[in-house]
């Protein structure tokens, strides 16, 4: 991953951005402790003490004795500025996903801007992926992964900027020079945060919301504020070929009222035509906006999205004996 650095912008972010992506610096900072119930257990671990990278791990209470479970690395949204695996929004979501999909999950707590501008979030996430990979061939530091994770079925998933991180990790994993000792089976991008300098039709029709999104990347990535940065716009002319994406299948989820929707469709179409040898699919939720499912996990459309992810993670799984 890119290891360049830059000076941090002024740390006082109170209400820089509006709309569904960001509202204020401290939204979603409520801390929910890890828990154990009849369905899912969770615990917090420090992955790399020297970098202060941590995560919340989730494990179904009733794990099958005769096989290991798919392993998910989850990356939360929040505009690279807010949220964490430890707040109620993402804790409840990942716990629900683990219960429905019967998987092991590692929810990554990457560094946030503006104190840690891009590329810090990507670097932390890449380091976390290597930490997970350290469990593949021999026992690593985390017993839950050693005992329950199937390293033949590793998935990446994220919402919004978390989905952006997922794409960039998969691209890095496809680069043979990066020497990642782990194969990624699939990647799920839910309402991915992609953008660009040339507006699509729906973006042009909502100039106020477009202006809000336009301000985000230059703020979190002051060293390279170009809206066509390949990390932000994977379909830009100067971006690396998507044919190098380092996983076997991709699921893209978009929402009808999300200003980022058309970027998700552009990504899907570009990946389909890139020469990449995997399988990509896309699903659009009607009459919903960006990351609607996080606010109401019990709604029918949220349940449909979660079940779609569960099916994606468990596709081609052998039956229990």
- Pairwise CA distance, residues 252 & 89, whole Å: 21
Q: Identify the active-site residue in 90, 191, 290, 293.
A: 290
- Pairwise CA distance, residues 62 & 38, whole Å: 8
DSSP β-ladder status, 104-109 and 53-60: antiparallel
- Residues in contact with 59: Cβ distance below 8 Å, sequence separation at least 6, in sequence order: 40, 41, 42, 98, 104, 144, 148
- Pairwise CA distance, residues 69 & 84, whole Å: 24
Other CB atoms within a 10 A radius of the CB of residue 8 amount to: 13
- Pairwise CA distance, residues 109 & 166, whole Å: 14
- Residues in contact with 239: Cβ distance below 8 Å, sequence separation at least 6, in sequence order: 228, 230, 233
Distances (CA, A) of 48 to 44, 77, 106, 176: 13, 21, 14, 24
- Pairwise CA distance, residues 293 & 295, whole Å: 5
| 217: nearest Cα among 236, 243, 189, 202 | 236
- Residues in contact with 163: Cβ distance below 8 Å, sequence separation at least 6, in sequence order: 75, 77, 157, 188, 189, 190, 191, 192, 193
Instruction: Give yes or no: 258 in active site.
Output: yes
Q: Identify the active-site residue in 159, 160, 167, 293.
A: 160
Q: Which residues are catalytic?
A: 160, 258, 290
């Amino acid at each position: 991953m890119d290891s360049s650095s830059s000076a941090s912008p002024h740390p006082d972010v109170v209400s820089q951005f509006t709309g569904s992506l960001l509202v204020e610096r401290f939204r979603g900072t409520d801390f929910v402790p890890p828990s154990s119930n009849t369905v899912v257990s969770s615990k917090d671990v420090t992955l790399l003490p020297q970098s202060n990278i941590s995560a919340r791990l989730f494990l179904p209470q009733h794990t099958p004795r005769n096989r290991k479970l798919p392993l998910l690395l989850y990356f939360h949204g929040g505009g690279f500025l807010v949220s964490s695996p430890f707040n109620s929004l993402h804790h409840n979501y990942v716990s629900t996903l683990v219960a429905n999909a019967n998987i092991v999950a590692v929810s990554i707590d990457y560094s946030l801007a503006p104190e840690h501008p891009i590329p810090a979030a990507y670097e932390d996430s890449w380091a976390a992926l290597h930490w997970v990979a350290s469990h593949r061939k021999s026992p690593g530091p985390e017993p839950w992964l050693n005992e329950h994770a199937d390293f033949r079925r590793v998935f990446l998933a994220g919402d919004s900027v978390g989905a952006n991180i997922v794409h960039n990790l998969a691209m890095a994993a496809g680069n043979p020079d990066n020497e990642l000792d782990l194969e990624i089976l699939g990647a799920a991008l839910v309402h991915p945060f992609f953008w660009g300098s040339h507006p699509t039709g729906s973006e042009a029709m909502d100039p106020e919301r477009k202006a809000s999104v336009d301000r985000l990347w230059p703020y979190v990535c002051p060293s390279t504020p170009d809206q066509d940065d390949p990390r932000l716009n994977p379909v830009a002319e100067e971006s690396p070929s998507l044919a190098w994406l380092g996983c076997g299948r991709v699921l893209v989820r978009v929402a009808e009222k999300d200003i980022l929707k058309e970027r998700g469709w552009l990504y899907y179409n570009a990946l389909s035509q890139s020469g990449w040898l995997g399988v990509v699919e896309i699903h659009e939720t009607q009459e919903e906006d960006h990351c609607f499912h996080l606010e109401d996990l019990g709604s029918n459309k949220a349940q449909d999205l979660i079940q779609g992810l569960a099916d994606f993670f468990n596709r081609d799984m052998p039956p229990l004996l």
